[in-house]
Amino acid sequence: MRTSTNHRYLERIERVIDALLAAPADAHSVESLAALAHMSEYHFHRVFRALMGETVQTTMRRVRLVFAADRLAAGAESVARIANAAGYESPQAFARAFRSYTRSTPGEFRRRHRHVSATAHHCCSVGDADIDLVDEPAREPGGRYARYVLRGPASMIAPAFRAMQRDWLPPSDFALDDRPLLERYVEPCSDCTRGEEAITELLIPIRARSTAKPCNRGATND
């Protein structure tokens, strides 16, 4: 793929990611997202997977779960209401998806974050200077991860994970791998209610991008 064409595709996919992040609970469809990217549905599927390393449906599910994690960390809103807001038909379906994504139940996740004020619900952008690549052979499953060291309250964990996937991943040479996100609590704050900062390593699973190039057939408005 030519560099100029690849750049145009990346800009279009970034618009789609921005739309998902801006309104994660909306009923996005592949048709509406393809229209936003000015592509046919067929071509959108192929380009999205080639650039992001996963299907658009997988990204949509991931964004909804990060949105749900934000709300779980923020306060006492019921799990059932959060599940509904994130687009899940039942709390049980949400709990299964959330546990697969975070390796903890919604209740466990909330208990870890309950002592933290919900005032820090933003995270700065994450770039190359903030990320290092590590291999985790001792973990199950092991493999390569992109690591970001978060210095701040636990309520910033979900936004930081989102920033890694929004800012660092798309222009990198890597795609998300099909393994869970990891959190490593390096230095918990001794009294989070007084504004002390914790140090947490956040790791997203990555793999080298596929060398396969998206087919130009079906593109529109190039």
Domains in the chain: boundaries: 3-113, 128-208
Rounded-to-integer distance, Cα 47 and Cα 178, Å: 19
Range scoring the smallest mean pLDDT among 15-29, 110-124, 132-146:
110-124
How high does pLDDT run on average in the chain? 77
The second-level CATH assignment, the architecture, of 3-113 is Orthogonal Bundle (1.10)
How is 26-66 classified by DSSP, letter by letter? Answer: S---HHHHHHHTTS-HHHHHHHHHHHHSS-HHHHHHHHHHH
Instruction: Yes or no: say if 43 and 220 are a contact pair by the CB < 8 Å rule.
Output: yes
The model's pLDDT over 140-163, given as tens digits with 9 standing for 90+, comes to: 566 899 999 988 766 678 788 888
Q: pTM of the entire structure?
A: 0.51
- pLDDT of 4 over the 50 cut: yes
- pLDDT: which is higher, 141 or 209: 209
Rounded-to-integer distance, Cα 48 and Cα 37, Å: 10
Residue type at position 145: Y
